[in-house]
Amino acid sequence: MRIVAIVGVSLGLVAAAGAQSASWSFVGKNGALNWGKLDPAYRACSQGHEQSPIDIRGAHLNKGLAPLDFHYISAPMTVENTGNLIVVHVNPGSTLTADGVTYELQEFTFHRPSETAVKGKLVDMDVELLHKSADGKVAIVEVRFALERGEPNAVMAGLWPHLPAVAGVAEKVAGPINAGGFLPADRGYWTFMGSLPTPPCTEGVRWFVMEQPLSVSREQVRQFSAMFRLSSRPLQDTHGRKIEANE
């Protein structure tokens, strides 16, 4: 079933910080290098000191970091093409608990190539799962996908037939789909403070980047790439930020 989304209002990752006003893109005159000039509300995109994504280097081992506790449920989802991204909106009920704070999964987005780099290396794709706590804190879990094994991802297999080809269109997926299929068996992670990786680039976001990449098939990457020429923000300066690893 296809439903028409509200044209001109980007949902996606910016939903955590409210609706935007100026249009933006990943390339061209409204591309990532100019986001900070497009709207005063986007000032953090060019002036912030905790922007995402970053290159993970020199992470400090912190054995005191607790494992991430995921409780994801199977449910219908809605897949939206915003014109810049594919955003999957989820039903309430899936949660992440980290450092004693419980966040509810709101939505997730796909990016090619991956946004976060590890020692300068990007992989083929990523999914970024955005969560919000009851008091408004935001946490993003990033899972990276590599073509090295070439096996399809099961969650993508359930979503890809429903990818809307037209911007401003959304399609309901009865599913049910469980985002837990994005989580690697090894739950080791890096964590740091960052921002939303799209305008308004709001800071104060806790990032958790899973260390173990998952497999994705060449056909899944091809299908996504056919829709978007680029869907990742360039790497941002860490400005001396602390990056920690839990193992």
- Is residue 79 one of the residues assigned to a domain? yes
Q: Residue 239 class from Cβ within 10 Å (0-12 exposed, 13-18 middle, 19+ buried)?
A: exposed
- Does some domain include residue 198? yes
Q: Which domain holds residue 148?
A: 2-238
- 3 state DSSP class of 14: helix
- Write the pLDDT tens digit of every residue in 195-226: 999 999 999 999 999 999 999 999 999 999 99
The verdict on whether omega for the bond into residue 53 sits within 30 degrees of 0, i.e. cis, is yes
Reading the block at residue 215, the tokens are 């497999």
**Alpha-carbon distances of 69 from 86, 95, 127, rounded to whole Å:** 26, 8, 18
User: Quick check: is 142 in a domain?
Assistant: yes
Asked if pLDDT for residue 128 goes beyond 90, the answer is yes
172, part of any domain: yes
CA distance 68 to 224: 29
Q: Is residue 196 part of a domain?
A: yes
* 112 neighbors 221 (Cβ within 8 angstroms): yes
Res 85 pLDDT > 50 = yes
Please report whether residue 243 resides in a domain: no
pTM flag (> 0.85): yes
The Cα–Cα gap between 97 and 94 comes to 10
pLDDT on residue 15: 40
Q: How many domains does the chain have?
A: 1
What local confidence, expressed as pLDDT, does residue 46 receive?
Answer: 98
Q: What average pLDDT does range 104-126 have in this prediction?
A: 98
Does residue 110 carry a pLDDT above 90?
Answer: yes
Rounded Cα distance between 231 and 214, Å, is 19
Dist CA 127 CA 112 (whole Å): 9
For residue 229, the model assigns a pLDDT of: 87
Q: Which two tokens stand for residue 233?
A: 């923000």
pLDDT level of residue 59 (50, 70, 90 thresholds):
very high
Residue 11 covered by a domain: yes
Query: Which CATH number belongs to the domain containing residue 149 in this structure?
Result: 3.10.200.10
- Looking at the chain, the whole-number percentage of residues with pLDDT higher than 70 is 91
> Average per-residue pLDDT in the chain?
92
DSSP string, 131-197: EEETTS-EEEEEEEEESSS-PPPHHHHHHGGG--SSTTEEEEEEEEE-GGGGS-SS--EEEEEEE-S
Q: Is residue 62 part of a domain?
A: yes
Per-residue model confidence as pLDDT tens digits over 145-190: 999 888 999 999 999 999 999 999 999 999 899 999 999 999 999 9
Backbone angles phi, psi at 17, to 5 degrees: -120, 5
